Amino acid sequence: MFSNEVLFFGGFILVISVMLLLDLGVFNKKDHVVKFGEAAAWTVAWIALALAFYLVINTHGDLVHGMDNYGELETIKNKYAPHLKLIPGDFEESLELYRKNMSLEFITGYLLEYALSVDNIFVIILIFSSFGVRPKYFKKVLFWGVLGAIIMRFVFIFVGSALMQRFEWIIYIFGLLLVYQGGKIFFEGGEEEKIDPAKHPVVKFASKYLPVFPRYVHEHFFVLKKGKWLVTPLFVVVLIVEFTDLIFAVDSVPAVFSVTKDPYVVFFSNIFAIMGLRSMFFFLSNIMGLFRFLKYGLGVLLVFIGSKMLAHHYLESIGFKTVYSLYVIIGILAVSILASVIVPEKKEVEDEVLSNS
């Protein structure tokens, strides 16, 4: 009645939904400021869940597409992993190779998406600061932002996959876009970003088409005044967060497609990264200033991924493997973080000299 893909996907969504409901209803009964310790614990929990899912894919990844014989395996391989070399006539060994490749693609895509989420966090911090959102309401706004992001990513990923399967040249469009965005981030990484609330396109849209109440009303998204329901500025902030994620999805989703052509793997890696985004927001917002070179690293990362998409035929012909992408991603992130720790900001050095003089 239902295909393996539908059943596996449904089970995945069910588990994610339960985790979200637990967070909202059990661990988040009252709005509160999320402390560093709580954020760190949730960050570790989501990373642990992603690693557990990696192990599930590594041992039972074939359940996603439901391959019962060598012919079915070869069909799926040709569709989503044409670079993978199977062992003709040996279904079990070939299936093992497929599982390992699929799990490697998942963890590489997850790490890539998680890294790119850092840039999203920079912008969300600016949004909250620019719109004067109280810290105790951050978690609630991010919860609904994540929920909307899951729905948008689902549509974006599977529509994108269908287009790439039909029009292979789209991968070059994505590649050029990523190289451009990466170069832009790298060369503008040191510039201080600003958001003008009055000029934001979502604010203009809300002001024109929605009845907006002029001030915040505690944690409420809607308020009833004179028999009419109005949206509060907090709801507008949720819309802005959703809009921001949509903009970032234009970069991050194609980036993961450079790792795998399987839309289910892309979706799984995206969702685990998004689910960990909230906790990582509170974790990194406390120490963001320590990693001043991280944005430059993300720029280099996007340029690498875009270049990989542009040269994917050549790279496949010389045997460039997914694990090499994983090594490069880890290397770029490690160098940018180490550079941030080793090289102090000039401002800090100048302040120290002035204080000693």
Helices (H), 210-275: 233-257, 263-275
In the block, tokens 């998406």 appear at 113
The predicted structure's pLDDT at residue 353 = 42
Q: How far apart are CA 308 and CA 315, in angstroms?
A: 8
Q: Which of 267, 63, 299 is nearest to 187 (CA)?
A: 299
Helices 277-285 & 91-130 angle (0-180, nearest 10)? 50
Q: Residues in the chain, how many?
A: 357
Task: Please say whether the beta carbons of 290 and 341 come within 8 A.
Answer: yes
The predicted structure's pLDDT at residue 19 = 78
Give the chain's residues under pLDDT 70.
1-2, 23-34, 189-195, 283-291, 316, 344-357
In the block, tokens 């970003």 appear at 193
Q: What is the pLDDT of residues 138-167, one digit of tens each?
A: 888 888 888 888 888 888 888 878 777 777
Q: What is the pLDDT of residues 64-85, one digit of tens each?
A: 898 888 999 999 999 888 888 8
Residue 229 in 3-state DSSP? strand
Q: How far apart are CA 59 and CA 54, in angstroms?
A: 9
66: left (phi over 0), alpha (psi -120 to 50) or beta: left
In the block, tokens 């009055």 appear at 198
Type and span of the H or E element at 222: strand 222-225
Q: Which of 322, 341, 331, 332 is nearest to 97 (CA)?
A: 322
Beta-bridged to residue 222, according to DSSP, are 231
For 281, counting Cβ atoms within 10 Å of its Cβ (0-12 exposed, 13-18 middle, 19+ buried), the class is buried
What is the reported pTM?
0.80
How far apart, in Å, are the Cα atoms of 328 and each of 172, 185, 254, 308, 322? 21, 18, 17, 11, 10
Task: Please say whether the beta carbons of 206 and 231 come within 8 A.
Answer: yes
The predicted structure's pLDDT at residue 349 = 43
Q: Residue 98 has which token pair?
A: 């497929």
DSSP letters for 340-357: HHHS--HHHHHHHHHHH-
